[in-house]
Amino acid sequence: MVMPEPIPAPKARPEVECLRGYSAPLEGRRGLLRLDFNENTIGPSPAVTEAIRSFPADQIAVYPEYDGLREALIANLQASPAGLARPLSTEQVGLFNGVDAAIHAVIHAYGAAGDTLLTTSPTFGYYAPCAGMQGMAIEAVPHDMPGFRFPLEAMRTALQRGPRILMLCNPNNPTGTRLSAEHVLQLATSAPDTLVVVDELYEAFTGDSVLPLADFAVHANLLVLRSLAKTAGLAGLRMGFAIGSAEVVDRVSRVTGPYDVNSLAVTAAFAALSDQAYTDDYVANVVRARHYLVSELTRSGAAFHCDGGNYLLVWPRSPAQQVEQQLRDAGILVRSMAGKPQIDGSLRVSIGTLAQMQTFWECYRQLEG
């Protein structure tokens, strides 16, 4: 029998063929102290655990339903100490399979070949591949040094060139750089033809949200992304939200599937939103732990940078990747920032509970001698 010539795999679009995908070393982490991906380090509320345990088995065979989830998020936001500038309608809230899916959908809906995505550098690594999939150019403005300050004047100048999307991680991952809500709104006002997307995954740890001041009837070019991963502990279930004008939310939602958020994630989200006290207690614990670690780093004379978010950067005396491995051998995961602009040679350390940071510091202090 003559074997046919093998058929080569079809090539993708040119934009995908030259794309370097975003990947993260997420395997082999079970049972270790996870200070590498800025997750909640103690798990979700007991209310979430009970809701998942009580999930009816027959519902696994049924497509998910989202009735009431948007209303639950709006009520949660309105009840927060800062509240909302204006009441939100359910049409102003989009549901996504985590904020990563929301980022992808935003750029898919609004980005095209020849358009520009404007952001800062360094920042969250998933923005660039999403823009690359669309054939977009990427303009990444370095932070102002020293101190990784937001490059406000350079950003204002860049906006005059008419980028399609401005992507702001606020507080910024990994530098913690913070931009006031007033400045976010000023940037949106100055660029009415640019979609200004504010990724607020870490806002709870330093209170940097634009929502208490945002009026989407005035700033229809503003979109805010939120998640239940970093604070409420639902990273493994994937639950993200996009909040903005109904028109923008509708356009972004058109490029997603009808059932992208699974039923267990919906069940967990309802429970997490109903137990805000648990999330608030966890955030307060992280803030205390951050203060402890900053105090110890300062006392030791270590080189570090800490601003917003539940993480900080530290520059060990030995090569960062060597110390990263030594910490892993001791059961502690951190993430090397080797090769990243402005922060090469540093480690990003997520902040967990006070006890967890005491464990980290004792090990790190011994490694540093």
Tell me: the pLDDT tens digits for 66-115?
999 999 999 999 999 999 999 999 999 999 999 999 999 999 999 999 99
Q: How far apart (Å, rounded) are the C-alpha atoms in residues 31 and 295?
A: 28
φ/ψ bin of 345: left (φ > 0), alpha (ψ from -120 to 50), beta (otherwise): left
Question: Topology of domain 46-275, per CATH?
Answer: Aspartate Aminotransferase; domain 2 (3.40.640)
Instruction: Evaluate whether 301 touches 368 at the Cβ level (below 8 Å).
Output: no
Q: The whole model's pTM is what? A: 0.96
Q: In terms of CATH architecture, what is 31-44+277-368?
A: Alpha-Beta Complex (3.90)
Q: What pLDDT sits at residue 28?
A: 85
Alpha helices in the chain (DSSP H): 14-17, 46-53, 69-79, 99-110, 127-133, 152-159, 181-190, 246-253, 263-274, 276-300, 320-329, 354-368
Mean pLDDT for 229-250 is 97
Share of the chain above pLDDT 90, in %: 94
Domain ranges of the chain: 31-44+277-368, 46-275
Lowest mean pLDDT among 206-210, 252-256, 349-353: 206-210
Confidence of residue 21 (pLDDT cuts 50, 70, 90): confident
Do 31-44+277-368 and 46-275 have matching folds? no
